[in-house]
Structure 1
Amino acid sequence: MDTVPFWALLLTLVCLIILSAFFAMAETALMSANRHRLRHLAKRGSHAAMTTLWLLDRTDQVLSLVLIANTLINALATALVTTIAIATFGHEEAVLAITTGAVAFLLIVFAEIAPKIIGATFPERIALPAALVLKPLMAVSKPVIWFVNLFVTALLRALRIRKETKRDHKLSPEELRSMVLEGGNFIPKKHQSILLNLFDLEHMSVEDVMTPRAQIESLNLAQSIDEIKRQLTTCYHNKLPVHDGEINRIIGILHVRKAIGLLNEDEELTIDHFRALLTPPYFIPEDTDVLMQLQYFQENHERLAIIVDEYGEVQGLVTLEDIIEEMIGEFTTSTPAAARADNVSWDEHGTCLLEGSTTLRDINKQLDLRFALDGPKTINGLLLEYLQDIPEASVCLKLNDCVIEIVQVKNQSIKVVKLQRPATASGNPTRFG
C-alpha cells in the first residue's frame, strides 16, 4: 500500500468489473443476435455484421475466450478487494468474510445479471460493435484458447460427446411459419395471409382446389346446334371443356371468345366448325401437388387442366386462377360458386347453413373449425364416409365437437347441412337424433 495509492487500487477494481461486464454482455448479445438480420446487414456491406457472423461460426472459441477472461478478471477482482481489506482493516476474519461477500455481490449484479439482461434486450446493437473488439482479442488469445480446448476436447471424448463442427441454421417450414406469424407488426396483414397460404400449398394436391366433376360447366357436342349456341351466350367462363357424349370423353378445350365470334358469322354452323376451334386437352393425375402443378402450368403454357383418376375417369378441373386464388384469396365473384363461397360464416345465432358441396378446407378456413383434410374433400363426403349410408333429412351428428344437422338429401347426396358453432375444438364423433 506504500507504493500503490489506495485510489489506484479502487480504480483498477472498477475497471475489472467494467471489463467483466463487457464480456458478459457481449456473450449474451452474440448468442441472442438474429442471424437472419445479421446476414441481411452483411449483404448490405456491414463489416461489423460480417465479423459477428464470423464469430458465431466459432461459438466454441468465443465462449472459451469469454469464460477464460471472466474467470481471470473475477479472480483478480477478488484478490484485489482482499488486498485492500487486509491493508485497511488487518487480518480480521469477519472483515474478510464481509469483503468476499461484497465483491461477490458486486460481480453478480454489475458484471453478470445486469449486463446479460442488457445484452439480451439489445442483441444486435451490442453484438456488432462488440464483435470488432472480440475478434482481435481472439487472435491474441489463440494459444491460450487452443491449450484450454485441448482439455475440453479430451473431456468430451471421454464422455463420448461428439462436438458438431458445423451447425445447420436453415429454417424448417414450421419455423418460417412461426416467424411470419410473429412478425405481424412488420408485415401487412394481407401479405402475411399470402405467405401463410404459400406454406399451406406445400401440403395440398390439385384435388383440394379443383372444381369437382359435378360442378364443371362443359360443352357437349352431342347436343343440337341451338343448345350449343344458347349455352355459349350464357357461359360464365372463358374456356370450356368439350366432350362428345358423356363427360369422360373430353376431346378438347374451346375458347369461348372464338366461338362467340363464330356465332356472328352468316354461314350456317355445324359441329365441325366448333371442332376446328378446339385445342388439345391437358390431363393431370388427381394427386399432383399444387405447387408442382403451378410449375407445370408455366412450363407448358397452360391455364386449365382436366383431373383424372387412375382409371382415366374425369374427377374435376383446375385452372391457374384456382391456384392463385388459393394463395392470395378470392379476387373474382364471376361465377355462382364463387358467390356462394363468400357466404360461409356464422350467423348471430352461431349457426351456418351450407351446401353439401362446400369444401372442408373452406369450412376450416372461414369458420375456424378443424375437420380432417386427408380424406373426403367436402362436407357431403365427410358425412357419407362417417355414416356409411345415405341418410334421411333431419339427422344430427357431432364431429369434432361441432353439431351438424342434415337438412336436405337429394339424388343420393347431402345437399344442405346446418352447423352449430362448437364451444371447443375437440371431441369424438357422436350420432344422435
Structure 2
Amino acid sequence: MDDPDSFQFILSFLIQAHDATLLDGSLDTVDLVLQFFFIVVGLIFSALFSGSEVAFFSLSNQQDVLTEGGISGSADELILKMLERPRRLLATILIGNTFANIITSVLAAVATGNIVAYFGFSEIFVYTLEVLVLTFMILILSEITPKIIAINDPLKSARKISRFIYGLYIILLPLSKLIANSTISLEERLPKPDSKMTSEDIMTMAEVSEMEGSIKSDEREIIENVIEFGTTSVREIMTSRVNVVAVSTENSLNEVLALIREKGLSRMPLYENDLDNILGIIYSKDVLPYINSDIERTTINWRTIARKALFIPATKKLDDLLRDFQQEKTHIAIVVDEYGGTEGLITLDDILEEIVGDISDEYGENEEQLYTQFKNGVYVFDAKIDLDDMEEILEIELTADDDDFETLGGLVYHLTERIPNVGERVYYKGLELTIHSVQNNRVRKLRVKLNEDDAKQQKSPVKDKE
C-alpha cells in the first residue's frame, strides 16, 4: 500500500465504480417505493407530533376541564400526568417531531438522487424542486393542518394521541429529562428579558383589534381612555370658575329653587361674598323639605344644611381623585389654585365621561351647542370648547403635551398674550381665528376658517388686525 501507483489505482477504481453506479440504467423500484412509503410515514408522524403539541398545551391552563366531575378515563389520567411536567412533555414531542422530519428529509434526498441518476435530470433543478415540494408538504400537511384540527377540539385530540405520546414520554425519559434540565440551566444564565407591556403596546393592540374587527371603535376608545386616566389631571376636565353655578349665603329659598329648576343640578357650592370663600356644598335633596313651606317668607340659614366640601389641587390626577371620592363618599370637589382661591370644580360625572364619553341626562337637550358649521366651511366655536374636541371636529392636530391651555379661549390668550378685540385675527397651524364676540373681558365666540394652503407657511403665529 506504500506504492503510490497502487494507491492511484485503487482511487481510480473507486471513482469509476461510483460513475458506473450513477450511469447505471437500472432503477430499484422496490427501494424507491419503500423510500416514498417511509417519507409518507414520516410526514404522518410529524403531523401527529405537531397536533399533539397544540392539543396538550392548549389544556395546560384548563386542567380543571379534565378534573370536573372526576377523571373520565385513563386517557385523561395520562394527559394530567404528562402536563405535570410540561418541559419534559415538550422535549418529548419536539424530539419525535425533529426525528420524523429528519428521516423524511433524508429519504427524500436519497429518492431524489436515485431519480437524478436514472433519468439524468439536472441536479440543481431536481433538488430545488425537492426542497420546495418537501417544504410545502411539511408546512401544510405536518404543521398547519394538524394544528388547526387540534386547536378546534384540543381535549378530543389530546385523548386520541395520549397513549402514543405517553409511550414515547417513558421511552425518551432520559433524553427529554436532560433537555428539559438543560433549558432550565440555560434560562438561569441568560439575562432576563424586559417583558413588561407598556401602555403604548396596549393601545397598539387595541387599534389592531379594531382594524381586525375584534372590538368596536367605542370599545377601543374606552381602553385608551382608561390607559390615559392615570395621567390626566383635574385641571384638564374641571368646570372652570367662570362656569361654576353656586349658591350665595344671601340667596333666598325662592332663588335657590329657581336655580335648581333652571340648571338641573343636584349639588352646588355654597359661598360667602365670592367664590374664593366656599363654605360647603348644597344638595338639592336637602332643599326639598322646604318646598311646601311659605317660600316667600321662609328664611334658611344655608350654612346649617350645607355639607362638607372636598378641596383638591388642580394638579391632582383623576385616579387619585376617584379614590378620594370613594373614601369621602362624595361626588363633587372644589378645585383650588396654589393661593387657595377657587379655580373650578369637578364631579364624579366628569370623571366617568373621561372614560366612557359624554353622558347626557334629562337636561341634555338644553345643553349649549359649542360650535356651528356653515356650508362654506366656516365654523363658529365657543371659546370654552376643549381643543381635543376641536381636533376631532376639524381633523387636524392643535395641541402638544407641554401646552398650558386646554380650551380654544386659552389658545387665543396664549397667542395674543392679552384680551383680544372683536374682529382681531390670529393665525395658527393653518387656522384663521377671528374674534367673534367678547363679553366682560372674556372671549365668548370665535370664527374659525381652515386654510390648508397656509398651514405649511404658518409655522409661527402671526397676528394682524382688521
Return the TM-score normalized by structure 2: 0.69
Structure 1 residue identity aligned to 2:65:
G
Q: Where does 1:369-380 land on structure 2 (aligned, <5 Å)?
A: 369-370=396-397, 371-372=399-400, 374-380=403-409
CA contact (8 A) 2:270 2:280 kept: yes
Partner residue, 1:239: 267
Amino acid at match of 1:395: E
TM-fit CA distance, 1:264: 3.1
- Please state if 1:349 is matched with 2:376: yes
What's 1:194 paired with? 222
Corresponding residue number in structure 2 for 1:42: 62
Please say if residues 59 and 154 of structure 2, whose CA atoms lie closer than 8 Å, have aligned partners that are also in contact. no
- Displacement of 1:200 after TM fit? 3.4
Q: Per the alignment, do residues 240 and 81 of structure 1 end up closer, same or farther by CA in structure 2, a change over 3 Å counting?
A: closer
What's the counterpart of residue 211 of structure 1? Answer: 239
Indicate the residue corresponding to 1:259 in structure 2. 287
- Superposition deviation, residue 209 in structure 1: 1.9
Paired residue for 2:462? 431
Cα distance in 2 for partners of 1:123, 1:206 equals 52
Tell me, in whole angstroms, the C-alpha distance in 1 between the residues paired with 2:97 and 2:361: 67
Which has the larger Rg? 2
SS of equivalent to 2:62: helix
**What is the alpha-carbon distance in structure 2 between the residues aligned to residue 421 and residue 127 of structure 1?**
58
Aligned partners of 2:415 and 2:461 also within 8 Å: no
- TM-score normalised by length of structure 1: 0.74
Tell me, in whole angstroms, the C-alpha distance in 2 between the residues paired with 1:397 and 1:57: 67
Q: CA deviation at 1:90?
A: 6.2
From 390, 415, 418, the counterpart of 2:419:
390
Aligned to 1:14: 40
Task: Quickly say closer, same or farther: Cα 1:195–1:80, change in 2 above 3 A.
Answer: closer
Whichever residue aligns with residue 181 of structure 1, its letter is E
Correspondent of 2:443 among 397, 414, 423: 414
CA distance in 2, matches of 1:178, 1:364: 21
Give the 3 Å change call, closer, same or farther, for CA 256–104 of structure 1 in structure 2.
closer
CA–CA distance in structure 1, aligned partners of residues 434 and 47 of structure 2? 67
Q: Distance in 2 between matches of 1:102 and 1:199?
A: 52
**Are the equivalent residues in 2 in contact too, given 1:216–1:317 (CA < 8 A)?**
yes
Partner of 1:80: 107
Contact 1:205/1:286 (<8 A) preserved? yes
Q: CA deviation at 1:332?
A: 2.5
Is 2:429 the counterpart of 1:403? no
Query: Which piece of structure 1 moves more, 72-81 or 279-288?
Result: 72-81
Give the aligned partner of residue 361 of structure 1.
388
The 1:318/1:147 distance shift into structure 2, 3 A limit, reads same
Q: SS of the residue aligned with 1:183? A: helix
For 1:179, give the aligned amino acid: M
* Alpha-carbon distance in 1 for matches of 2:182, 2:303: 83
Shift of 1:382: 1.6
Listed one character per residue, the Cα deviations across residues 318-369 of structure 1 (whole Å, up to 9, x for unaligned) are 111222233233332566897225x546443333211112222332344444
**Which whole-Å CA distance do the structure 1 matches of 2:362 and 2:200 have between them?**
35
Q: Is the 8 A contact 1:242 1:251 kept in 2?
A: yes
In the alignment, the residues of structure 2 paired with residue 413 and residue 57 of structure 1 have an alpha-carbon distance, to the nearest angstrom, of: 69
Going from structure 1 to structure 2, the CA distance change for 1:61 and 1:308 (only over 3 Å counts) comes to farther
**Which residue number corresponds to residue 3 of structure 2?**
none
Aligned mates of 1:409, 1:283 — CA distance in 2:
31
Q: Which runs of 5+ in 1 are unaligned?
A: none
Deviation at 1:242, TM superposition (A): 0.7
Aligned counterpart for 1:104 among listed residues 105, 123, 131: 131
1:176 and 2:196 aligned: no
Distance in 2 of aligned mates of 1:88 and 1:384: 85
Relative to structure 1, the CA distance from residue 411 to residue 393 in structure 2 (aligned partners, 3 Å threshold; closer, same or farther) is same
What pairs with 1:296-375 in structure 2 (closer than 5 Å)?
296-332=324-360, 339-341=367-369, 343-344=370-371, 346-370=373-397, 371-372=399-400, 374-375=403-404
> Cα distance, 1:316 vs. partner?
0.8
- Alignment length, in residue pairs? 414
Is this contact kept in 2: 1:405–1:418, CA < 8 A? yes
Separation in 2, partners of 1:199, 1:131: 40
Question: Residue type of the partner of 1:177?
Answer: M
Letter in 2 for 1:42: Q
Contact 1:85 1:95 in 2 (8 A): no
Query: Unaligned stretches of 5+ in structure 2?
Result: 1-26, 68-75
How far residue 287 of structure 1 moved from its aligned partner, in angstroms, is: 1.6
Q: Distance in 1 between the 2:272 and 2:117 partners?
A: 111
Percent identity at matched positions?
A: 20
Find the aligned partners of 1:349 and 1:105 in 2 and give their Cα distance. Answer: 62
